[in-house]
Amino acid sequence: DNNNNNNHNNDNDDDYDISQENRKRKKRRSPKARNNSSNSSNSNTTQSLSSSSSSPLEIALPTPLKRKLITDWENITKKHLLIDLPRKKEERISEILTDFEEFSIEQGQDKNIVYEISRGIKDYFNQALQVTLLYKLERQQHGNLIAKNKHLTMDQIYGVEHLCRLFVKLPQLLSPNDLDNDTRKILKDQIECIIAFVLDHEKKYFCTQYQKS
Tens digits of residue pLDDT in 159-175: 999 999 999 999 999 88
- Mean pLDDT in the chain? 83
Is residue 61 pLDDT above 60, yes or no? yes
Would you call 89 exposed, middle or buried from its count of C-beta atoms within 10 A (0-12, 13-18, 19+)?
Answer: exposed
Instruction: Report the candidate in 3, 2, 33, 8 with the shortest Cα–Cα distance to residue 134.
Output: 8
Query: What pTM did the predictor assign?
Result: 0.77
What's the pLDDT tens digit per position in 179-204? 888 999 999 999 999 999 999 999 99
Instruction: Report the candidate in 118, 117, 120 with the shortest Cα–Cα distance to residue 128.
Output: 120
Distance CA 212, CA 80 (A): 7
Is residue 206 pLDDT above 70, yes or no? yes
pLDDT in the model for residue 13: 47
What's the pLDDT tens digit per position in 17-36? 554 555 555 444 444 444 44
Q: Averaged over 59-76, what is the pLDDT? A: 97
Query: Can you give the C-alpha Rg of the chain in angstroms?
Result: 19
Q: 108: how many CB neighbours lie within 10 A of its CB? A: 7
Amino acid at 201: H
